[in-house]
Each structure stands twice: as structure tokens, then as C-alpha cells.
Chains A and B, each alone.
Chain A
């Protein structure tokens, strides 16, 4: 059985299929993440694995990557420090730029130069190469990053210096990201080198238990083999939330659900992303700990709002929730592990939205402790306990609403045409109220909402993207585009074959980034038909106007390759209906008696009016008054949110 595994900060999730019945498991994550993964794989009896993990991300955030050296064009050795010359906070002197993953004494300048047309102005001599190689070796580097100016136009100089490092892990900018903007390209290359030794070790530890290798989640919402990711670990650095988005893409095939916003709310944060016409939105402007990662990744907005987010009163007397979190230890007050500050989970518990336990009863909650903490908060604020519960919920919603509106604004998307797809432990609980606030009419809660990311990891297609900047006038760019695409396709075929996938099943999607000469940002246009006309059309849509005479410039050629994998969905539950009773729940209009039912007891086509609480193993869906829920294939809760 193939299993999708998603390693999170708190839990490691496993999802697989035996026939159409789901096998799923949730284990606490371990200090060495491989331990929990290997244990879970044994427990479910898995023989194959697709794996999503944040080990690479954490290595960067915690500065636990390799001792690396950085080689760039002489005269530009401080590239990583100067960055884009801006500071992270306008007014707060306590905030400073994080130091680059490679200190200045391991940044080396190579005397060489290529100009903006790809002509060599200064070739690196063998002696010069030797000098730099010796300096790098003397520095004790475990891994090397090379990024020279305009190497995407003429890679020879980067190749010449790279050849001297056969015995060390090396990341070369024209291979990692053959695009212009030297800081972004260098940063991406440096991050790749920084995590390479660690990712190699981590994957090797998993590989030992899986004889035939396995697949690894990438930041762009596809998977690749463990062998390929060892060569390009940068591809997995922002893959944490990509599994959920990939799973959403499989749901967005259904009619009426092609325009989705994903809402993944867990213990410490909530992630949002948009799918337009079934396609996840990508960005090449991602940032990790202020370092750009300029590869195409799923465009996700994250906000520090989750079940563990803490409620605090700020110096001006306003109630704030998050981004500080109680984490797993001590966790919410209700965990009874010594936490004494109110979290969202405590408010949800006292307000009745959340039942008496988490993890299917594996983690009992102590409501009386949470209620006392709420009373203390209410006394501080001079409001009633009920108002405090609703207040915490409202404030955490407002901060999520702000992030959602930003995602929508960035994409220019109208919320009324979007459905909100809610998952993660806390997402389905807050989704309807959030949708109402934003003006969305429909909420969808998928099957396996508590392990939806692991499901996404299991079904994501195999994929890879290729790109190169070739800046020139569009009317003379035909041969250059054809050359680049032919080369990308050849590389894709050989990459796929070497990973034992069938290139004939691959879907190849070619695009070009175009702009008017003088503009600094580009629009991605599918490579077919009259490119100039398509670009002008797209420009009018995006900018509201277009110039007929301005010359158009080609900037970057791209090819995205996808080999689909089988998408399985869980069979309809066969277990008998079992209503678990009633409980009092605090809604905006006050306390109401709500029916509590198990999700699986709802039949297809049945419609149930709120207030009702739907429970399942790792999630609770709240359907407030005036909302109505029904089930539709393949096992989706569809909630019309009403007003």
C-alpha cells in the first residue's frame, strides 16, 4: 500500500487506501522526524510512500544547515548582505535583518564577467579558478553555492569553477534557477546548498526502511523522487502547505467548485491560497525568513492564528489574538499542562463549539480550567464571559479575514465567486463565520479534513519546472523560445526516464513571461497562437489599458511538466447513523441547543439546517443557525452559509 505522509510541527499524518477504504493514522511528531515516519509506516503496513516534510524549512529557520561557501563575481561579494538594501521594519529598531546563511568570510569573489548580452568580458583563468578553489577548501566548507552575474546567459564560467568541486555537494545558479535578478537567484542557490547535506542525511534515514525509494512533496504542488530531491532540495523547502493545496486541486475538478480558497487552520497558524478555475495560484516571490526563494511555489498566505493562539490585552486596551501561540507545551489552558493564558481552543471549548476531547478522545480537555481563564480575561476587559468567548473568536477571525482579503487582492479575485475549502484541525470550526465575514456563500469541508495534507501528498502528480531568462525583443525571439523549449523537453524526458516514469504520459505546459520594454514586471502567457496579441489582451485585463505601439520583450521561457498519479477518494461510509446527542453552543445571537451528529451519519442528498455540530475523528464542523449543510460526492460537506 502507498501511503501519503505529512510531517507537521505537532503531528505526523498518514493516509493510504486499501481498495476504497481509507487507512489513516495520526502520531505525535518526534524530535528526529524520521522516527515517527518509520514507526507509522510499519504500523499501517505501508510498502510505498509519498512524503511531505518541513525538515528543510526548519533547517533554514533554525539556522541548522551546512557550513557553506558562496562564490560570486569579484566586486559583488557582499551581495547577500546588501540584499535589496531595504530594512525589515520601518520604525522598530529592535528588528534587524537576519544574517545570511553564509558569513562574509566564506563569500569569495571570482575575477570574471559576462555582460548583459551574454558576451564574456573577462574569462576566469585557470590560475584564478585555482586560487578561489583553494580558498574555499581552506574555509572548511561542507557545501558550495556558485552564482555569477549573467550566468543564465553564459553558464561556461559557472561550469568551469564547479568542475573543481566534484567531491563536495554543490549548487550552481544556472541549474537551480536560470533567471535574472542576481540577489534572488543567489539566495535561492545558497538555500539549496545550505540544506543539501541535511536533506541527504534525512532522506537516507527513511530510505533505509523503504527499499525502492519514495516520492517527496515539492513546493509547487507536485512530487518527485527522493533521488531527484537530493540533487535539488530547494524544491521541497516551502512544501509544507503544498499538500493541502494539491488535494484541493483534486476537489476543484468538480463543477461549482472550480474557484476555491483553501483555509487550513491548525495549532499555530492558518494558511490561505486561491485556486482559479481549478488551478492553484503560483508565485515566484516567496520568502523564507526574509530570504527570497524565487522558484515557482504555491502562493500561500500564512497568518499566526490557530487553536493555540494566545489572547492578550495590548497597551492601548484592545484585545489581540496571536501571533504568539501556546504551542503544544503547555498548550491551551484546557490541556491542564500549566498553561494559564486563554487560547482560541479554550474559547471554542467554553463556547461549546469544541467537544470534550481532541484526537478522537485521545486528548481529553478540561473545560473547567478553560472557563476560569476566560472569566479572568473577561474581568480584565470588563465584559461578560460570553462576550469574552465571542470576542476571542471574533478577533482571531478578523485577523484571518485580513489575510484572506490580501490573498484575494493580490490575485484580483472576487470573494463572492469563491467557495471556502476548510480543513486542518480547527478550520471547519471557524469556516462558516469566516465565510460570512468575507462574503463567500459556500463552505466545503472535504473528507479527511484532519489529514487532508497527507491525502494531497499521496495523490499529487509527479512534476518539475524548467525556466531560463532570455531577454530580447519578442519579434526576434522565435528561435530562442523554440531552442529553450526543445532543450527543456529533452531534459524533462531524460529526468523522467531516469526516475522510471513514462515521459509519454507527461503533460507539458509551456509559457513565456513577457512585458513592455521598460516595465519591471512580467505577465506569464501560454505559448500558443499570437503571443503579442495574447500579451496585449492579458495586459488589458490586468492593467486596464494597453499600448499598441510599445515594443514587447521576452524575459523568461518556462516549461512545467506533470505526470498524473491515480486519484482515489474514500468510499461512502457504511457505518450506521449514530447521533451523539445535543450540546449548548454559544453563537453570535446567544446560547442555542445544537444537535451533535457524527459526520458519517449524514446521507447523500440529506439537507440539515443549522445549528448543528458535525464531529469526526480529528475535526469538528460548526454549522450555525441560518446555514444549511448537505453531502455531495465524493464525500464533501457543502454548507450554504446563509447570512
Chain B
């Protein structure tokens, strides 16, 4: 394939994924998809190889192919034109339960040509706490409804069994169904576009284009790996708690090798899965690993299966980074993924000193406040913090880092929609670690409950162990969580579900990023 055909094919595929994303965002119902853009779309070939993906948050990067593989495995020869498979089971293609994935086979003349798929984070998926991110769950079923791969659309018709589960078991069924239908429509569009490409160029040419694009992405990543030093380096870091009632140190260890065949990341020495919700399914670990390699090699390479051929990930079944059913996983996606990134970067801090950042805030600061009863509501968001400084620039302040990039809810939108008031939302000066390049500052967000009562779930990390500085830069300041009740301020643990009464204020202070390089003395 010549360089021109390559570029034209690349743009054609890239466009389809983007167009699916635009359609999803245009027609979705909930703020989570429209405003925070917690969603991704992709195309796959008949063997489940990812041809292209448009993701808004990196945690979806490597985890979508697992969903398609699962569909291929569970529906051998039983998919029909017009079917769409739904799933969220982290042990059968999902990540955590709020992430609902829809996969649609694309048929040309009766044969499967490929798949269109998309994934979106739903604001509530049932379970024991509003917002489906309970701090104290230990088993998956406490976190919400579990959808093993099953047909949501059967030859174009919605199956009542699936709809009924959403109607019965989630907090806001109209919103759920609105988002699901937007997901269906996005896949229909992707499928139509892929079929159009096939009819314009022919199936044979399409397959050749796909192969060439995968090879092209691989070439680009290998070209970026080629000048890197060869060797093997090891690092570890810790999650600080699995639970509200105790601090612990949960070890994540990675041995990272750069060699002729690319990156090998081996998580041997990582702790076993734990009684709590910080367990990560393999898909999440793959995403975090691919993320780091992408940042360190060629950030612009096409996002397809070829780009990850030079990356091998080894993780032991039953370990924290490849959890087994029925462990709870809500925080695996949002917290553990961040720590996996920290560990891999730390391993490469010496050999790739010109590009590895100091540690960023290392948490997504998940905050859910809700109430059932006469006026039910469920508010979920993640709060930005400090970015780790880089060898060539300061860390950004008040920003989402690494595995997420969702937007905030505007204060005015929040107060118009929920019985809550934001009392303070600003940076914490000097919370970033000092250095030649200082780390970015964390954020203080204070939220007062105006309703008579409610429940808050907080899932955070880096309240004890600070984000570390690099090459002489100082550590960032760890975050802190407080509850102000009756004028008295009390410290809360990193992960907790607490009852709130009217007038209570939750204060989340997020961590600052680590600094890079020793501070110059004047």
C-alpha cells in the first residue's frame, strides 16, 4: 500500500470513530456523557482486532478490545444482522459496572465484517449506594447490576428483560434508557459507515487497508522505541487503603523491560486481590500500561491494535491487577489504574529521565452525594488536582491527569440541579512539590448539603502517601478529606461512605503534583 492510500484510509477510519462519538454526545441524555464526556467509540475487525478508537479518557484505551473478544467468545456463530450485545461484567469484557458497553456486529453479504462498539459511564447502575461507587463493597454484586454479555437488541428489537432490569434496579431509568439508546444509535452509525467503506472499496481492499494501518501504527511506535535505552528496571508503589476502617499498604510492583521486541511489563510481586473495591480487572491494567507506553513513545500513532503489538503485559490471575470474580472493582478503574501508571513511570524514571514526569495527584477523588426518598438525587464527580512536573515544564494546577480527563460540573449547574451549595473551589497554594519545575497545585472543593439528609461516598487515594517528586524535586502535598458537622471539622479516611444531615459540609482537598529537579538556589 502506498503512503497516500495509507493516509487516506487512516483518516477514513479515524473519522468513523469520531463521528460515532459526536453522535453519542449529541444524542445522549445524561451530564456524564454530554458534559463530562466519559465515553469512547471504536471499530474492530472480524477477529476482534481494534481498527480505530476515539476515546475521551485513557482508561478506555486498552479495555475496549476485551469487550469485543468476550462477544466473539460468547456468541460463536449466533450473532445476526441488527443485534447489539450489552455488557458491563468486569470479568467478561467490562471494567467496572457503571461502564456499559454495547457491541454491534457489522454484516456484509451475510458474513461478519467487523464490529462497532462503544462504552459509556452511567451515573447510576444500582447497588448499595446512590451513584454505584460504594466505598465499602467487597463483592461485585454490591456495586450494581451485573450484565453478562447478552443481546440488548435482537435483530433490531430491544429485549424487554434488559430494559426491565434497568427500570427496576437503577435510580433514574429514563436517563439510563436515554443514554442506552444513544449508545445504540452511535453503533448503528458506525456499522453503516464501515459497511459503506466495504461497498465502496470491496471487502478485500478493506482488509488490506486494515492490515496496512495496523502495521503502520506498529511501525510508528517501534520507530519511537528504537532510540530508547535497552534494559530492565523495577519499581513499586502502594495503594493506601481498601476500606474505610483501616489503612493498609497494597503493593503494586512492575518490572519493565525495553528490548528488541518492545516493552514488557511484568506485574509479578504485586499483592493478591483484596477485600475491598480497589481490585482491577486485566482490561484496566492493560489500559494503564498502554497509556504509559503511548505517552513515552508516539502519542500521535493511530489508536489501533498495531500500536500495542510492541507491548506485552504479564499479570498473575488473582492478583490486584488481574482480579478474579467476584471481587468488587469500582475503584480499580478510577484509583488503581492511576497507581499502575505511577509504578510504570517510576520504573522508567532513570533510563527515560528526559521524558518521565514526577508523580501526579494519583487519584480521581471520586465524590458521590445522593439521597433516596421523596426527592431522590445522585450527584457524582471526580475532582482535579496537581499534575507532576516534567523535565521541560511545570506541572499544571487543578487538572485531571493520566487515566481520566472528565470535565467538572459548573458550580451554577450543580446548584441549580441539586440541593447542594459549593462554598469554595480554588487551588491550594504551594501544594505542588517545589523544584526546578514545581508540581501543579491541588484543589479545595467544599460542598454543603441543603437537603434534610443524604449519603456521601468518597473514593480517594494519596491522603497518606504523597505524590513523589523526581530527580530532586519535592513531593506534592497529600490530599485531605473533612466533614464539618455542627461547626466541628473532622478528618475522614480516604475511602468512606458517610450519612449527611442538613448543613453538613464536605471538604475535599486534592493532592499536589510532585516537583521535578532540585530547586535552584538564588
Contacts and interface: CB of A to CB of B under 8 A. Distances in A.
Interface string A68-80: 0000000111110
Nearest to B302: A316
> A314, A316, A318, A519 — which one has the most chain B CB atoms within 10 A of its CB?
A316
Contacts of B410: 180-184
Interface residues of B, number: 78
Given A183-B410, A318-B3, A319-B4, A543 B181 contact: yes
Contact of B22 (A89, A409, A543): A409
A115 B30 contact: no
B125 to A, nearest CB: 17
A180 B35 CA distance: 14
| Overall SS of chain A's interface | loop
Contacts of A77: 426
Nearest to A185: B412
B460 to A, nearest CB: 16
A545 B390 contact: no
Contact of B224 (A84, A180, A315): A315
B294 interface: yes
B417 interface: yes
Interface string B105-148: 00000000000000000000000000000000000000000000
A383 B298 CA distance: 27
Contact of A405 (B4, B15, B401, B427): B15
A104 to B, nearest CB: 8
B398 A82 contact: yes
B235 to A, nearest CB: 19
Contacts of A86: 399-400, 405-407
A93 B55 CA distance: 17
A317 B6 CA distance: 9
A138 interface: no
A390 B12 CA distance: 18
A87 B396 contact: yes
A94 B12 CA distance: 27
A394 B3 CA distance: 11
Contacts of A598: none
A83 B398 CA distance: 8
A406 interface: yes
Interface stretch (B42-50, B74-82, B214-222): B214-222
Contact of B298 (A315, A402, A518): A315
Given A315-B223, A381-B3, A391-B3, A402 B11 contact: yes
> A76, A519, A550 — which one has the most chain B CB atoms within 10 A of its CB?
A519
> B35, B415, B416 — which one has the most chain A CB atoms within 10 A of its CB?
B416
Contact of B15 (A79, A402, A519): A402
B223 A550 contact: no
Contact of B295 (A76, A93, A520, A545): A93
A316 B219 contact: yes
A320 B15 CA distance: 16
B299 interface: yes
22 contacts: A76-B424, A78-B425, A86-B405, A89-B299, A90-B55, A97-B399, A149-B411, A181-B413, A182-B412, A184-B410, A317-B3, A318-B3, A318-B6, A383-B3, A391-B4, A394-B4, A395-B4, A398-B7, A409-B19, A519-B30, A520-B34, A543-B181
**Nearest 9 A/B pairs, CB to CB:** A391-B4, A91-B299, A520-B31, A85-B384, A82-B398, A316-B220, A116-B415, A92-B299, A84-B407
Interface of B: 2-4, 6-8, 10-12, 14-15, 18-19, 22-23, 26-27, 29-31, 34-35, 55, 57-58, 172, 174-175, 177-178, 181-182, 185, 216-217, 219-220, 223-224, 291, 294-295, 298-301, 355, 357, 383-384, 387, 390, 392-393, 396-401, 405-408, 410-413, 415-417, 421, 423-427, 443
